[in-house]
Structure 1
């Protein structure tokens, strides 16, 4: 909500500041993750730096802190919850054997994993009631909860000799216990987040890479059964992600002729290819992103080649029949670093190394037109809309951030830096 900030410090502490009704930032919590003087003396003998990580839950009502200092005797994790008085109360929640701790997407659960054949789930709305996920014969190295908190993906290693990596889905049953919903499904062993297993935003689908040319989709049917389907990709997959409404998925393959594939979900047929978007030759690196309403996608080139090259951002839209077609092109003369839609999907802003940011807008009839070009003295590294779309923030050069404000025609632009 923009009213809290957490700052981590080299001394192993985290400080929470809150915006009060008088319009001032005040210190409301000073947190140390070092539990006792023996630990402090032990750490001072090894290293003067005692790092800590901290993050908010999605609604900002909780903060998770975790010591990240090497050789910490007991890597504590704590949950700090905002109370009615505006302060914060804390409780140590970590299992000392857990190597990793993270919030679930909805912020109502805490996942602890990285130790032997189990992972733990703590319910933060039920007095830290815990449940255990067990995968015999496998070490659970990663765990990710679905957005609604009803399912969890575990990533597992069988043993060091084979280094076999699998995915397994667990689901919560009515009694509050968790049970395996799938077997151990072999997947590609990669730490690259762009190809790591992920839930769709609605929690009904899971995507994982079986290898660099095959993707596995698991979709939960109306009976709660996870149905598996495979997609062969004509190329080497670099990135794969769902649309915000979970109805589509995009897969990017680099190379001499980079391509973005769009797949759509059909309950009867599973995931089927809907559109192939080829990009410019000799520009092997492309990126893509969906609009918030999932009805448009932008693909763009982001790797510099020879001078004088044109770099394009292509907007494709989906009609009422589910067919995708090209709607607009934005052209730059330098690599396009970012291309972002605004919240309602009616505008797009691109940021380029040629020193410009281009804003395009969509008319009621579906056509797109270039609205303006924001010129900078240095390459533009990023550009993004404000929540109400009346401002654009651009970052250019090494030290410059500019705010561009939408005004009526003929008025002063109101640009500020």
Structure 2
């Protein structure tokens, strides 16, 4: 059930994420800003300005104190989540940065870029990165239609997962570490065994490119965002479609569950963020 529509961005919204303490919601936009919202009330708390290009991705540190933002201006910025103050600007990529992720143990920050590097290895443009819950593996989604799994400690490529027919936009591990989900321009979501790399399910109900996937905190549900303007909810174990959430008037680009399991956020090219209730079973 739709709870709120958050308006304020002046251009397409590309990413949403909740802080681990469930208090804040961050959104990244083509308007070159990051906005911080009160997750409970929907009130705008901060507008973070400074990037000179589109902001593609946002991620909170595990302690909820820092927020990282990735931009087309080739930088990653680190902000104080409480005050909105800029803490650091990370430079080094020679192309736009599309994704950022903190390791769950708080030791590392990974960034994915169009400059074709992941852990210093050359590969096709990388659109997304995600750490496994134990911080030992890093998954990357690539424009060459593959998902790669890397050993974080050594930087060694462990596996290349093939099967998607078009670029892979985003990857996400389930909180229980058992599954890895990948969202692709081929309109499907694939669920892989995170330990072996074996394909478990191919979810095929979307009618357009799938931009984002997110697992619920209990690993039982998977949400997917698509250019067909919908969010779909799936049973992660069986692959069965549970619900289709309609309301956005343009492509849905990002989805995120709140850590307390109460809310699901979706970000869209219609310039809005929507909050859906997830407190009691199906939305």
Q: Structure 2 length as normaliser, TM-score? A: 0.52
Matching residue of 2:157: 228
Q: How many residues align?
A: 226
* Coordinate RMSD, CA, aligned: 5.4
Contact 2:51/2:73 (CA < 8 Å) preserved in 1?
no
Aligned mate of 1:95, from 18, 27, 50: 50
How far 1:139 sits from its partner (Å)?
2.2
Q: Structure 1 length as normaliser, TM-score? A: 0.38
Distance 1:5 1:247, change over 3 A: same
Ranked by relative contact order (alpha carbons within 8 Å, sequence separation 6 or more), the top structure is 2
Matching residue of 1:414: none
Q: Deviations over 1:293-347 (max 9, x none)?
A: 66x899xxxxxxxxxxxxxxxxxxxxxxxxxxxxxxxxxxxxxx75436xxx89x
How far 1:246 sits from its partner (Å)?
1.9
Aligned mate of 2:131, from 188, 191, 199: 199
How far 1:229 sits from its partner (Å)?
1.5
How far 1:100 sits from its partner (Å)?
1.5
Matching residue of 2:204: 285
Distance 1:66 1:234, change over 3 A: closer
How far 1:95 sits from its partner (Å)?
1.2
Structure 1 unpaired stretches of 5+: 9-13, 15-32, 34-49, 70-74, 159-164, 168-181, 266-271, 299-336, 353-383, 394-417
Distance 1:212 1:100, change over 3 A: closer
1:187 partnered with 2:119: no
Contact 2:124/2:144 (CA < 8 Å) preserved in 1?
no
When Rg is computed on C-alpha atoms for both structures, the one with the higher figure is: 1
Aligned mate of 2:235, from 336, 340, 345: 340
Distance 1:93 1:232, change over 3 A: closer
How far 1:104 sits from its partner (Å)?
1.7
Matching residue of 1:263: 193
Q: Which whole-Å CA distance do the structure 1 matches of 2:146 and 2:101 have between them? A: 24
Matching residue of 1:146: 102
Contact 1:249/1:262 (CA < 8 Å) preserved in 2?
yes
SS at match of 1:208: strand
